[in-house]
Amino acid sequence: MARTKVFDEEEVLNKALNLFWEKGYNGTSAQELVDGLGISRSSLYDTYGDKYQLFKNSLLQYRKKFAGAMIEMIDGSNDFEKTLKEVFHYVVTESLQEKFSKGCFMVNSSVELAPHNLEIAEIVNDNMQDIEDALFRLIKKGQDVEQFSKSHTARSLARFVFNTISGLRVASKSGADKKVFDDVVKVTLSALK
C-alpha cells in the first residue's frame, strides 16, 4: 500500500527555495535539505527527484512568485513613473530587510550555474527577457504619454533599468546601505526624464 504524503509540497518547495537562495546549489548538501525541509530523504527523492531537480523547481518557483508579481504590477499600471518607483522601492526594501543578504536567487543562479548548465541558463534568460519585456512595455507607455524621455529607445531604457535592478541585488549581497541604493535609484530615474 502506498504511503500518503503528510507534508505540503509547495511549503517544502518554498523552504528548499530559501535554502538554495541562501547557500546556492553547490553550498547546499543533501543532508541540509533533509534537515531544513523536515522530511525524510526518501520523501525528498520520491517527491522532487534528485537535488538538481529540486533546485530547478525552486528556481522556477522563485520566477513564478517574484518575477510574476513584478510583471503583474507593471502590466496593471496606469501611472508608469509611479510604478517604476514602486518596483525600485520593492527591490530596495526587500534587499535591506534581509538579515542575511541573499541578493537575487536568479542572479545568484546565473553566476553559479548558468555558465555551465544550459537548462539553468535558459530559465535565467527567460526570466530576464520576461522582466525586460515588461519594463519595455511600461517605459514605452510612459514615453507615449511623455512621462519618460524619448532620448533613448524604450528597449535600451528597459535593459538599463533591468541591469540596475540586477546590480542592486548584487550590491545587497556585499552589504550596501540605503544611501547607496537611494543614489542608484535616483540617478536611474533621472536617466528616464
CA distances from 31 to 19, 34, 36, 51, 73 (A): 12, 5, 8, 11, 38
Spell out a b/e string for 86-109, using b for 16 or more CB atoms within 10 Å of the CB, else e: ebbeebbeebeeeeebbbbbbbbb
Grid cell digits, residue 50:
534528485
| Ordered structural domains, the chain, with CATH | 59-191 (1.10.357.10)
**pLDDT digit string (tens) for the chain, length 193 residues:** 455 566 889 999 999 999 999 999 999 999 999 999 999 899 988 999 999 999 999 999 999 999 999 999 999 999 999 999 999 998 998 888 766 678 889 999 999 999 999 999 999 999 999 999 999 999 999 999 999 999 999 999 999 999 999 999 988 888 888 999 999 999 999 999 9
pTM: 0.90
